[in-house]
Structure formats: C-alpha cells, structure tokens
C-alpha cells in the first residue's frame, strides 16, 4: 500500500459519516478535506521529485470513485483538485514558478480550484472574455464566474482568460492565481438539487500576480491534451462510485426483503441485471479510456477520434450513472425515497443530476457530432 491508498479507509469513514449533513446543510465537507490533508493526498499526483507521491491517473480515479461512493460532493471536490494538478504537471512542471507551486502543493497540501466558466460565455470552455491586464512584470485580472466550486476554500485558482485584451475570445491562457493575491467575492447562492457540498457559488474574482504565473502553452492545447480528457475520466470515476453505492443499497434492500419474506426471489430483483450491466460497462469504459489516454500521452498531437471518444465517455457515463441511481430508487421504493435510511438513494440521484449538466451533454454532443462526421470508416466501402 502506498500513501495514496494506505489511509483510504479512514478517509472514507469520515466522508460517509458526514455525507448526509453536508448534503442537508450544503456546507463544505471540512472533515473529509482535513482527513485528505492529514493523509497528504492533496499532493498525491504531484511528481515524487517535487515532494508528491507521483501516483498514476488510474490510482487517482480509484480514490475518487471510492470517495464518491461515500460522499458525492467530496469525491467531486477531490476530482476537480486532481484535474488542476494534472494540468500543471503536464503543461508547466518545468517552469520554475509552477515547479515551486507544485512543491508547495505537496508540502503544504494546498487545494486547487477551477475558474473556467464565465458569466458571458457559460459552459463554453474554449471561450473567454476576461483578459489579464499586463503592467511590467505583473498582471491583474477580473472575472465574473457563475459557478466556482469551493472558491472560498481554495488556496490556488486556475483561471482561463484571453491571452491579452486585444486577443480573440478563443485565444486563451490558463493562469495560476494564488488565493493570497486574490479577492473572491461570493455573489450568488449555491442552493442546488445536488452536489451541495461542492459550494459552487457564483463569484466575482479580482486577482493579480507575476506574468510568469500565466502558463506559456495555449489553453486550447492544455484543454485538449489534459483538462478535458482527465476531467471526463475523473468525473466519470466519481459518478461510477455514486452509482455503485446506489446499486449496493438496492442489493442490500433486496437481500433484506427476501430474508424477511423467507423468499428466494423478489419481483424487483430483475432491475439488478440492468444496473449491474450498466456498472460493468461504465467500469470497463473507464478502464479502456484511461489506457487510451495514457497511451496517447507521448503522441505529438491529439486526434479527433480520441477527442470524440473522450466526449462520448462523459455523455454515456453521466447518463448511465443516473439510470443506475433511478433503478436503485425503483428497487428500494419508499426506503430509498425517504432520507435517513440505510437504503436512501435520494442524495445519489440528486448528485448525479449534475452529471449531464457539468459541461452540458447537449453542448458536448453537438461538438462530438462534428468530430464524428469527419471520421473515415475503418473498412473500405463497396
Ligand atoms: C457540481 C458542479 C460544479 C461545477 N464547478 C465548476 C467550477 O469549479 N468551475 C467552473 O468554472 N465551472 C463549474 N461548473 C460549471 C460547469 O462546468 C458548466 O460551466 C456549467 O454547468 C454550464 O452552465 P450552463 O448549463 O448554464 O451553461 P451552458 O453550457 O452554456 O448551457 C446552457 C444551455 O444551453 C444549451 N446549449 C449550450 N450550448 C449548446 C450547444 N452547442 N448545443 C446544444 N445546446 C446547447 C444547453 O442545453 C443548456 O440548456 C460546475 C457545475 C456543476 C454542476
């Protein structure tokens, strides 16, 4: 066992214990984050040479899946943090400022958040209106962001912006902003159906820093090579964890019901076949997609086929996870519908409603359709 998995059961116990309260009150899962920090898991994906554990993406996915099964919001927070780490490691680790930041993340267990969405551009990741104002060696930036998870708890924010004030909206850069150099004003409520503990408020961000905090590589490249595929894999792992727990509750309910009735069958048990089939497909898709992502890492450029695959993964997993939770509710009936029972799946169902919206499936499907139309058949046509 490495540091990443060694403390996992203790962390999962904390997350499970607090999940219902986090959901009911919409408060940040402070206890779970403390447990993650204590186990030094916030630096787990930072390379060993910079003080982290250098764990693989698949190991990070396993942890997010396990945490998501206990508390969807906590799993999603860890996933979002790891996505930002992956971007820094893949696109900025050789830059002295970002290298020092990665060392700090591992050493001080800093929490990273993402500020990609913008009031004027919605969920279009590849468009920004805000831009850094350069002044000598320094920049300052303002961004109106409609949804930023745990903005007031984060130590570092990765912010997308136009390269410069006169750059087109699609010519973007990613900027690492330190919390101590930023004013984060919460301007909107986060009173949502699910994922309540992510505290994804609308914020008005004002920040400044050194120009070298702006990653040199074009954001389009970072998004395509790392942010989008890693997001889809880590989000997918969290959703699979939530769906897996809903299925486990349904199985437990069926076992109890059959025991109580002294029966070896139950009319709702057939739902388990669909749920188990969906979960197996989800896990297999995640496994294959991770292998493809790792294999493509060294390639000089990404391919449209890969981009389509990673998009389809997100759309399919988000819908499948929801279906599993819905079926779990059907199986458990009132025991699942009611909060506070060992078979409750309301939180699972509500948390998973965010999955198709988190970068809207309609938007992703439209982009994917364009990529798919351009694809050639693998076989000669007659
Ligand atoms: C739990 C959670 C946490 C989040 N955390 C963060 C965070 O930390 N940082 C961050 O920046 N953002 C975060 N987001 C926001 C998220 O990533 C998206 O930006 C956001 O969900 C998009 O919001 P939207 O649906 O209002 O906008 P849009 O994506 O603009 O969609 C609005 C509507 O337009 C339609 N639409 C838009 N484009 C198309 C298209 N091409 N084809 C068809 N229909 C289209 C959609 O159907 C949708 O109904 C989070 C979201 C959730 C749910």
| Sequential pLDDT tens for the chain (382 residues) | 455 566 899 999 999 999 999 999 999 999 999 999 999 999 999 999 999 999 999 999 999 999 999 999 999 999 999 999 999 999 999 999 999 999 999 999 999 999 999 999 988 999 999 999 999 999 999 999 999 999 999 999 999 999 999 999 999 999 999 999 999 999 989 999 999 999 999 999 999 999 999 999 999 999 999 999 999 999 999 999 999 999 999 999 999 999 999 999 999 999 999 999 999 999 999 999 999 999 998 888 888 888 999 999 999 999 999 999 999 999 999 999 999 999 999 999 999 999 999 999 999 999 999 888 888 777 777 6
- Rounded Cα distance, 272 and 314, in Å: 23
Atom of ligand 1 nearest to the CA of 354: 53
Ligand 1, atom 22, residue with closest C-alpha: 123
User: Is the CB of residue 359 below 6 angstroms from any atom belonging to ligand 1?
Assistant: yes
What pLDDT is recorded for position 380? 75
- Rounded Cα distance, 83 and 61, in Å: 11
| Ligand 1 centre distance from Cα of residue 126 (Å) | 12
**Alpha-carbon dihedral sign for residues 302, 304, 309, 310:** positive
Atom of ligand 1 nearest to the CA of 359: 18
User: Is the CB of residue 158 below 6 angstroms from any atom belonging to ligand 1?
Assistant: no
Q: Are 33 and 153 in contact (CB under 8 A)?
A: yes
List the Cα angle 253/256/260 in 5-degree steps: 140
What pLDDT is recorded for position 371? 87
| Ligand 1 centre distance from Cα of residue 146 (Å) | 10
DSSP E strand stretches across the chain = 112-115, 133-135, 138-148, 156-162, 172-178, 182-186, 201-210
| Ligand 1 centre distance from Cα of residue 237 (Å) | 20
Ligand 1, atom 52, residue with closest C-alpha: 358
Torsion of CA 225, 226, 228, 234, to 10 degrees: 140
For the chain, the C-alpha Rg in angstroms (whole number) is: 21
What pLDDT is recorded for position 134? 96
53 closest CA partner among 41, 67, 35: 41
CA atoms within 13 A on the CB side of 340: 2
User: Is the CB of residue 84 below 6 angstroms from any atom belonging to ligand 1?
Assistant: no
What pLDDT is recorded for position 1? 44
Ligand 1, atom 19, residue with closest C-alpha: 123
| Ligand 1 centre distance from Cα of residue 378 (Å) | 34
- Rounded Cα distance, 63 and 58, in Å: 9
What pLDDT is recorded for position 300? 81
Q: Kindly tell me the burial class for residue 114, based on how many C-beta atoms sit within 10 Å of its own C-beta (0-12, 13-18, 19 or more).
A: buried
User: Is the CB of residue 198 below 6 angstroms from any atom belonging to ligand 1?
Assistant: yes
């Amino acid at each position: 066992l490495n540091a990443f998995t060694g403390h996992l059961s203790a962390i999962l116990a904390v997350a499970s214990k607090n999940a219902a309260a986090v959901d009911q009150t919409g408060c940040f899962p402070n206890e779970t984050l403390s447990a993650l920090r204590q186990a030094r898991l916030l630096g787990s994906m930072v390379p060993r040479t910079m003080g982290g554990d250098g764990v693989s993406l698949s190991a990070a996915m396993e942890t997010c899946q396990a945490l998501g099964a206990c508390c969807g919001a906590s799993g999603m927070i860890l996933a979002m943090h790891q996505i930002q780490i992956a971007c820094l490691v893949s696109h900025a680790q050789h830059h002295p400022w970002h290298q020092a930041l990665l060392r700090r993340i591992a050493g001080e267990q800093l929490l990273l958040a993402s500020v990609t969405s913008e009031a004027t551009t919605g969920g279009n990741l590849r468009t920004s209106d805000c831009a850094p104002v350069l002044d000598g060696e320094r920049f300052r930036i303002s961004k109106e962001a409609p949804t930023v998870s745990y903005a007031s708890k984060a130590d570092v924010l990765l912010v997308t912006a136009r390269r410069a004030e006169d750059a087109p909206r699609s010519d973007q850069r990613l900027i690492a902003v330190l919390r101590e150099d930023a004013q984060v004003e919460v301007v909107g409520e986060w009173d949502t159906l699910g994922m309540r503990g992510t505290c994804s408020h609308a914020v008005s961000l004002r920040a400044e820093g050194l120009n070298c905090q702006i990653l040199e590589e074009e954001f389009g490249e970072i998004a395509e090579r790392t942010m989008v595929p890693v997001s889809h894999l880590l989000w997918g792992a969290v959703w699979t964890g939530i769906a897996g727990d809903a299925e486990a509750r349904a199985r437990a309910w069926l076992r109890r019901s059959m025991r109580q009735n002294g029966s070896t069958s139950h009319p709702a048990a057939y739902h388990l076949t669909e749920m188990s089939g969906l979960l197996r497909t989800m896990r297999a898709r995640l496994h294959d997609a991770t292998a493809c992502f790792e294999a493509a890492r060294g390639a000089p450029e990404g391919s449209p086929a890969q981009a389509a695959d990673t998009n389809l993964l997100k759309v399919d997993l988000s819908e499948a996870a929801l279906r599993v939770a819905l079926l779990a509710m059907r199986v458990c009936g009132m025991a699942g519908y009611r909060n506070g029972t060992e078979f409750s799946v309301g939180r699972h169902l509500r948390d998973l409603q965010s999955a198709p919206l988190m970068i809207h499936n309609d938007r992703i499907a439209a982009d994917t359709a364009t990529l798919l139309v351009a694809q050639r058949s693998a076989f000669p046509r007659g």
